[in-house]
Amino acid sequence: MSSTVEVADRMTVRGIELEVARHGTGQPVLLLHGMQTFDPRARFFQLLAAQAEVIAPSHPGFGGSPRPDGFETIYDLTRLYLDVLEALPHDRALPHDKVTLIGCSFGGWLAAEIAATCCHRINRLVLVDPFGIKLGDRETADILDVFNTAPDEVQRRSWHDPARWSPDYDAMTDVELTVRARNWDALSLYGWHPYMYNPRLSYWLRRIDVPTLVLWGASDGIVTPTYGRAFAGMIPGARFASIEQAGHHPELEQPEAFASHVLDFLNA
């Protein structure tokens, strides 16, 4: 194992540099963000960090993480995070050799890919409104095309309360907007085609052999709770739970309910 991990806001794994937010102590939780990177000041982040060590990298190309040349597929991301999982337990001689893996939205797709590949460093898996599989017939898209849909409509379908949660670009700093533009480009690169799913993943979800919780915002209009229940049904023993008054980002819209679901699952 030639990889190393630095305890800082950067982490380098097998030559790939990641920006990473780390908060809290205790059971390590690897948190994979979705279409946008997480702000560690977010309420849900702090609630988790009160009882666990939350390790939240920005995927290459997102946030402040560089993207190596040619690194542009889900295949690359899956192998990168398998390496991260190998490296984390050696970091600071943590007493834990396993990590709880949480993935939201696009990051939920990654988490499912990682767990379907290899679970031996994972003790629990939490998928939050994940993308990643194809369920509907060939003329029914499961996942709203966020690139080819009017931005207002994307926001309307993203949130239970769009008036409160839709981003206000006019109020953002240049740096925040630049991060959003980086995130958008990276998301398009990884997820454009086939749009936000791997045609073979649903077949292999049966390989996931750790306790799994699938959480879903009841008002998610990007990808529906019906899809979520079917997704959970493909993972052996997975439990599905819905979070009321939340859309595609229940961790942001209902941080208390979200954290309570996750922490109960972690401590069970």
By the 8 A CB rule, do 231 and 256 touch?
Answer: no
Kindly tell me which of 179 and 238 has the beta carbon lying closer to another protein.
Answer: 179
CB 33, min distance to another protein, A: 17
Would you call the peptide bond into 194 cis, given omega within 30 degrees of 0 as the criterion?
yes
Q: Shortest approach of another protein to residue 192 CB, angstroms?
A: 4
C-alpha torsion angle, residues 104, 106, 109, 113 (rounded to 10): -110
To the nearest 10°, report the CA torsion of 109, 115, 118, 124: 150
For residues 96 and 28, the answer to whether their CB atoms sit within 8 Å is yes
**Nearer to another protein by C-beta: 155 or 219?**
155
The smaller minimum CB distance to another protein, of residues 153 and 256, is found at 153
Minimal distance, residue 35 CB to another protein, in Å = 11
CB 213 within 8 A of CB 242: no
Query: Are residues 249 and 146 in contact, defined by beta-carbon separation less than 8 angstroms?
Result: no
**Closest distance to another protein from the beta carbon of 70 (Å):** 8
Q: Which residues bind another protein (CB under 8 A)?
A: 70, 72, 147-151, 169-170, 172, 174, 177-182, 184-185, 187-189, 192-193
Whole-number minimum distance, CB 194 to another protein, in Å? 10
* 9 or 153: CB nearest another protein: 153
24 contact partners, CB below 8 Å, separation of at least 6: 48, 49, 50, 51, 52, 53, 54
Tell me how far, at minimum, the Cβ of 63 lies from another protein, in Å: 11
Q: Of the two residues 2 and 193, which places its CB atom closer to another protein in the complex? A: 193
C-alpha separations of 192 from 112, 113, 156, 196, 249 in Å: 18, 17, 21, 7, 21
Nearer to another protein by Cβ, of 18 and 54: the residue is: 18
What minimum distance in Å lies between the beta carbon of 253 and another protein? 22
Neighbouring CB atoms inside 10 A of 76's CB total 17
* Helix (H) or strand (E) run with residue 50 in it: none
Both tokens of 152, joined, read 């207002």
Q: Which is nearer to another protein, 146 or 262 (CB)?
A: 146
Written as six digits, the tokens of 117 are 């590949």
